[in-house]
A and B are shown apart, each in its own frame.
Chain A
Amino acid sequence: MKAILANDYFNWTLRTIVGLVLVVAAIDKAADPSAFAVSITNYKLVSEGPALALATILPWIELVTGLCVLFGVLRTGGAVVASGLFAIFAALMASALARGLDISCGCFSQDPGVGTISGIRILENVGLLVASILIARSDNGSFSVEEYITRQASRKEIP
């Protein structure tokens, strides 16, 4: 596993997938927190007030996390947050399915007819969770802003 994680392109591909998914998923939610709050209340776990509070900050956490993972800034911390987010999303969807709720997952679009929760959606989230954990555990920062800055700094040190 370490050998695979050490591969620059594999690592970069994982970061790109996880980062892009988070950024794309955040855009629709961040643009319309009220609609996202409806998606949250559909899960029937929180009332309107807490749902609105979550809808205000969660999309932006997703966006910042996605950008960090994508560009390799605060890469490890970003991947840790991403792991937490995907774990929570998968658990919420599993809980909704177990309670027999037929609702939109609210993942990428707040259109109620789009993206109904299903086993496939849970598996997608589990896959992204695994990818995020691999990124968090990897030392490989290839093609990242962090690596670029470190390289520039070490160049300056050499006379």
Chain B
Amino acid sequence: MNATKAVARRRFSLAVREALVVLAAGAGLGLAYGALTDEGIFRPAAPPRGAAPLEERAGAMPEAPMMVSVDEAQELFRAGQALFVDARSEFDYGLGHIKGAVNLPLKSASKGASFLTDVPRNRVVVTYCDGANCNSSIDLAARLYASGFVTVRIFFGGWEEWRARSLPTEGTRP
């Protein structure tokens, strides 16, 4: 009985040691790859907010679309730099949308096409949809990014959070 327990203990101890080696090797490789390619946590930090307008920051190197909070979306709106793009249907957009937003329903934004051709590609675009229950803002952001926009932000809180804060809207039933 004691021998069985001893074997089980040895086995457990070996499994834990091996697991730690696997975790350390994976983490080490990840950090090394990130450091070598300037990716992940080693990605160069964005300039502090307010240091320069976002449009000036949008250079030749595109950044992958990133999420912004309602506070950051509000800040972008107030600065007047960003173009808000509503990914919802034309009907929902007509009822109410973020003031100044343009409508580009995800269904009409087919993959691989070029969108908003009259908008400069270095302009900051912020996509949104209903809120946490929809995914189309993320999908639309990916398509805008693929069509050449270098600074794409996703306002995931969307219409629900914007309206909850009583921020500027327009439409027939804003």
The chain A residues found within 8 Å of chain B, CB to CB, are: 30, 32-35, 37-38, 41-42, 44, 48, 52-53, 55-65, 68, 74-78, 80-81, 84, 99-104, 111-113, 116, 136
CB contact between B135 and one of A37, A63, A102 (< 8 Å): that residue: A102
In the assembled complex, the Cα of A53 lies from the Cα of B27 at a distance in Å of 10
Q: Is the CB of A38 within 8 A of B26?
A: no
Q: Quick one: which of B120-137 are within 8 Å of A by CB?
A: 132-135
Total of A-B residue pairs, C-beta within 8 Å: 121
- With both chains docked as a complex, state the minimum distance between the C-beta of B19 and any C-beta of chain A, in angstroms: 4
Give the top 9 A-B pairs by smallest Cβ distance, nearest first: A77-B18, A56-B40, A61-B26, A60-B30, A57-B30, A33-B40, A77-B19, A64-B26, A112-B138
Residues in chain B near residue A111, CB distance under 8 A:
142
In the assembled complex, the Cα of A132 lies from the Cα of B43 at a distance in Å of 34
In the assembled complex, the Cα of A35 lies from the Cα of B134 at a distance in Å of 18
Nearest residue (CB) in A for B141 is A112
In the assembled complex, the Cα of A102 lies from the Cα of B39 at a distance in Å of 27
Nearest residue (CB) in A for B18 is A77
In the assembled complex, the Cα of A42 lies from the Cα of B11 at a distance in Å of 39
Q: Is the CB of B34 within 8 A of A33?
A: yes
Q: Is the CB of A77 within 8 A of B22?
A: yes
CB contact between B30 and one of A38, A61, A104, A112 (< 8 Å): that residue: A61
For chain B, the count of residues having a C-beta within 8 Å of the partner chain is: 39
Do A38 and B29 contact each other (CB < 8 Å), given the known contacts A76-B15, A102-B134, A111-B142? no
Q: Is the CB of A80 within 8 A of B40?
A: no
In the assembled complex, the Cα of A60 lies from the Cα of B33 at a distance in Å of 9
Q: Is the CB of A77 within 8 A of B17?
A: yes
Residues in chain A near residue B42, CB distance under 8 A:
56
CB contact between B64 and one of A35, A44, A68 (< 8 Å): that residue: A35
Q: Is the CB of B15 within 8 A of A77?
A: yes
Q: Is the CB of A34 within 8 A of B139?
A: no
In the assembled complex, the Cα of A80 lies from the Cα of B25 at a distance in Å of 15
Residues in chain B near residue A84, CB distance under 8 A:
19
Q: Is the CB of A42 within 8 A of B29?
A: no
Do A34 and B39 contact each other (CB < 8 Å), given the known contacts A63-B26, A77-B19, A112-B138? yes
Q: Is the CB of B30 within 8 A of A56?
A: yes
Residues in chain A near residue B41, CB distance under 8 A:
52-53, 56
In the assembled complex, the Cα of A38 lies from the Cα of B142 at a distance in Å of 11
Residues in chain B near residue A68, CB distance under 8 A:
22
Q: Is the CB of B22 within 8 A of A78?
A: yes
Q: Is the CB of B18 within 8 A of A76?
A: yes
